[in-house]
Every structure is written in structure tokens, then in C-alpha cells.
Amino acid sequence: MNQSYGYVRVSSKDQHEVRQIKALQEMNIPDPHIFIDKQSGKDFQRQAYQQLMGKLRKDDILYIKSIDRLGRNYNEIQEQWRILTKEKGIDIVVLDMPILDTRRGKDLIGTFLSDVVLQILSFVAENERNMIRQRQAEGIALAKAKGKKFGRPEKALPEHFADIVQQWEKGDITGVQAARECHMPLSTFRYKAKKWLQK
């Protein structure tokens, strides 16, 4: 007997999946059959999605709220759709786009229409992802131009750092001893020492 499953994805832990889950519950999908990922849609290496793939059997039905919840990479969405419908033999229902319901229109025209709509929506999903990345890059560049610093602030060097570097450079102490004196990893000491010596 065929089973119904639902897949939910949000891009980050800060986003909420409630709206997607509610839509799937309205389709009478039991909670244990709803798989949730909280990560980017750039590829399909997602824990819950891979678990779902292990559960799906021929003639099962997979419900998703919208095509961009499946993913945001044009080629990979196309490939996953093919694997799910052709290799696994399951049906997919995209709730926000009724034409993307593989249970209906299995004749040539129905399949053709679904394929065309899927290609358009996959393209839109990837294009939106690229636009988000571009806006982020522009925002970061603008912030840097205004002097905003990113990442953790650098820790202040110990007061005796210059003395230790000079001792290390002369060979009076080893790098390991110098790093220990400065309370930092050896690689960090070497990096900061070289930077200091170039001043």
C-alpha cells in the first residue's frame, strides 16, 4: 500500500517551518512521515532528505509546499525529480503549483506541461538563489567600504610580544617556547610574528 510523505526545508535554523508543516498536515500526512531540513538548498546532501530517500518506495506520494523547498539548484532539482519519478517510481505533489502533480496528466501532453513548468520553476529558484548571493556580496562590499570589519576581533598581543619575537628570531628560544609564552598556538605565533617583523 502506498504511503504519503512530506518534505520541509528552511534555509537556516532561524527560519520557521511551521507554515510548511501545517500545509502537509492538512494533507493528512502523519508527523513521523514529515522530514525537515534546516539548511541551504544548494545541493541534496541533507540529512533528513537522505533519510526520506531511504524510506520512499514505488507508488508512494511525496508532498512539498513549493518547488524551491526541494532545492535551489536548477540542474539538481531536475535530476532529483527524474530520480524520484522515474527511478523510484513515486508521485510528487507541489502544493503551491497544482500543475506539478504527477498523479494527474500522465499522458504525453500532461507530462510535457509538467516538465515545462518544472524547468521554469527550477530556473526561477536558482535565479533567486543567485540574486540572494549577489545582494549579500554587494552588501558586504559596501559595509567593508564603510570600514566595517567582519569576523572575530583580533586579540591584543601580549605586552612582551616584541621581546619574545626577537628572542625567537635570534634562535634563543624555539617557536614552541615562544608560542607558550604568548599563550597562543604555534601557527598563530608564527603568523603574528612574521606580520610584526614586516612592519
| Cα pseudo-dihedral 119, 124, 125, 127, rounded to 10 | 120
Does the annotation count 11 as an active-site position?
yes
Residue that is written with C-alpha cell 559596501 in the block: 142
The phi, psi pair for 90, rounded to 5°, reads -105, 170
Q: What secondary structure, in 3-state letters, does 66-114 show?
A: CHHHHCCCHHHHHHHHHHHHHHCCCEEEECCCCCCECCCCCCHHHHHHH
Of 11, 12, 40, 66, the active-site residue reads: 11
91 forms bridges with which residues in the sheet?
Answer: 61
Identity at 162, one-letter amino acid code:
A
CA 181 to each of CA 172, 198, 199: distance values in angstroms, whole numbers, following the listed order: 13, 21, 22
Q: For residue 68, how far is the Cα from the chain centroid?
A: 12
CB 23 within 8 A of CB 66: no
Catalytic residues: 11
